[in-house]
Amino acid sequence: MTAIEKPSCYNLLCMSKELICLTDLTSDDLVALIAELGQPSYRAKQLQHWIYKELAASYGQMGNMPKTLREKLARKARISRIKPVHESMAKDGTVKTLFSLLDGRTIEASMMQHPAGKGKWRHTVCVSTQAGCALGCSFCATGQQGFERNLWPGEIIDQVIYFTRRMRHGVGVEVDAVPNVVFMGMGEPLANYDALMQVIDILNSPDGLNIGARSMTVSTAGLVPQIERFSQEKRQVRLAISLHAAADALRNKLVPLNKRYPLEALMKSCRAHIETTGRRITFEYILFENINDSVQQAVELAALLKGMNCHVNLIAANSTDNKNFKPPVHNIVLAFQHELERRHIPCTLRVSKGADINAGCGQLRSRFLGTERG
């Protein structure tokens, strides 16, 4: 299957020789599918309920659907595009899963849990939007794998559904629990823009997983035209910028996209986004030892963000096989944070999740590919 630049539609899928995937379809597409099968339109609502409310993994679970309809659907459409092939669980409860796609490519996603008080847990699912990535960020395992293709909407949604099933089967987790979703896995989400918007709408829909828009965050390395387009959307989804440097010379090395859209252009688009939407932007800043972790660099970051309605997430790098990008010692991290706070930049020091299972984006897939190619 070739890469898609726009979200799948029912007609496009029908032209394919492959089975349709139900999670690729919008509500209107499901109605069209049901009509083609000679069934009344209310069956589309029932089908949608089984996919997103009951999280059915097979047609056999769809108890109130006629057997003849289930048989027709099975010949026409599959329920999911992804299959888990490897899974790791960290001591902190983070789960990292490698999925195989129908064309043999692989992607990964993770679920993190955080205490939410009174014995409850808040879950965040981090999903991929592309197989591989074209941006080539020097510290990112995915960036070193190269770009393969954009994901279909269903391939993104299926990652969320997979982990939502896990949540419902967890001890002490409410049956109707749904996760926060961050589009921060493999790939650049805004480079798969139309599919991403379709996914957001389906996840947010009361007929979908009914995940609040503000419980979803789109992360970008800085695709300025797409940020400007995203600012005009009516969706209340949060925006995060993978920044990691406050000077062009360093950011050019860490995030090569900066050569095309340097900090001046990026900051201009961020300020416009805040003004247009009224929403705060998050800046993600991974700290690497002796690269971007000095107090002087914190001063530069504070100057760059001065006056913006923003929040900085500071994250000490995960230890990886790449010895060029090591985490700083804790005192250095605290000094960086203190300097931002002293200069009135709101910031939070995030705990790296899943360090003992190499949960950084692309690491599990890199090990898998290395094994397969070796």
Q: Is the pLDDT of residue 3 over 50?
A: no
Largest CA-CA distance found in the chain, in angstroms, rounded: 69
Residue 133, phi-psi category: left (phi > 0), alpha (psi -120 to 50), beta (remainder) = beta
Q: What is the CA radius of gyration of the chain?
A: 21
Looking at the structure, tell me whether residues 97 and 67 fall in a common domain.
no
- The answer to whether 135 touches 116, Cβ cutoff 8 Å, is no
Neighbours of 345 (CB within 10 A): 21
Looking at the structure, tell me whether residues 234 and 321 fall in a common domain.
yes
Whether the pTM exceeds 0.75: the reply is yes
- Percent of all residues in the chain with a pLDDT value above 70, rounded to a whole number: 85
- Would residue 266 count as lying in a domain? yes
Report pLDDT digits (tens) over 10-47.
555 565 667 999 999 999 999 999 999 999 999 999 99
Which residues are CB-contacts of 87 (< 8 A; sequence separation ≥ 6)? 95, 96, 97, 98
Looking at the structure, tell me whether residues 161 and 70 fall in a common domain.
no
Q: How far apart are CA 112 and CA 217, in angstroms?
A: 15
What's the rounded mean pLDDT across residues 347-357? 72
Looking at the structure, tell me whether residues 125 and 263 fall in a common domain.
yes
Looking at the structure, tell me whether residues 53 and 195 fall in a common domain.
no
- Would residue 141 count as lying in a domain? yes
Last residue of a domain, one of 78, 98, 130: 78
* pLDDT of amino acid 121: 74
- Would residue 85 count as lying in a domain? no
* pLDDT of amino acid 175: 43
Report pLDDT digits (tens) over 111-159.
998 776 666 778 899 999 999 999 999 888 877 788 999 999 999 999 9
- Would residue 243 count as lying in a domain? yes
Active site residues: 108, 361
Looking at the structure, tell me whether residues 147 and 266 fall in a common domain.
yes
Looking at the structure, tell me whether residues 95 and 47 fall in a common domain.
no
- Would residue 207 count as lying in a domain? yes
Domain with 238 in it: what CATH number? Answer: 3.20.20.70
Looking at the structure, tell me whether residues 181 and 254 fall in a common domain.
yes
CA terminus-to-terminus distance, the chain = 26
- Would residue 314 count as lying in a domain? yes
SS3 of 171-198: the string is CCCCCCCCCEEEECCCCCHHHHHHHHHH
Across 195-243, where does the E strand assignment appear? 216-220, 238-242
Number of domain units in the chain = 2
Strand partners, 313: 284, 348
Given the structure tokens 């991974």, which residue do they identify?
286
Give the sign of the dihedral formed by CA 349, CA 354, CA 356, CA 362: negative
What's the rounded mean pLDDT across residues 155-177? 79
Q: How far apart are CA 69 and CA 367, in angstroms?
A: 42
Last residue of a domain, one of 26, 49, 78: 78
Looking at the structure, tell me whether residues 66 and 183 fall in a common domain.
no
Looking at the structure, tell me whether residues 241 and 369 fall in a common domain.
yes
4-13, 114-123, 198-207, range with the lowest pLDDT:
4-13
Last residue of a domain, one of 32, 56, 78: 78
- Would residue 211 count as lying in a domain? yes
Looking at the structure, tell me whether residues 29 and 100 fall in a common domain.
no
Across the chain, where does the E strand assignment appear? 20-21, 77-78, 82-89, 95-101, 106-117, 120-126, 130-132, 147-150, 180-183, 216-220, 238-242, 281-287, 310-316, 347-350
- Would residue 5 count as lying in a domain? no
* pLDDT of amino acid 225: 98
Looking at the structure, tell me whether residues 205 and 297 fall in a common domain.
yes
Phi, psi of 321 (to 5 degrees): -70, -15
Expressed as residue numbers, the domain containing 345 is 90-373
Domain with 42 in it: what CATH number? Answer: 1.10.150.530
**Structural tokens at position 124:** 């965040």
Reduce the DSSP state of residue 348 to 3 states and report it.
strand
Q: What is the Cα 13 distance to its own chain's centre?
A: 24
Report pLDDT digits (tens) over 275-326.
999 999 999 999 999 999 999 999 999 999 999 999 999 999 987 667 789 9
Q: CA geometry: angle at 141 spanning 140 and 146, to 5°?
A: 100
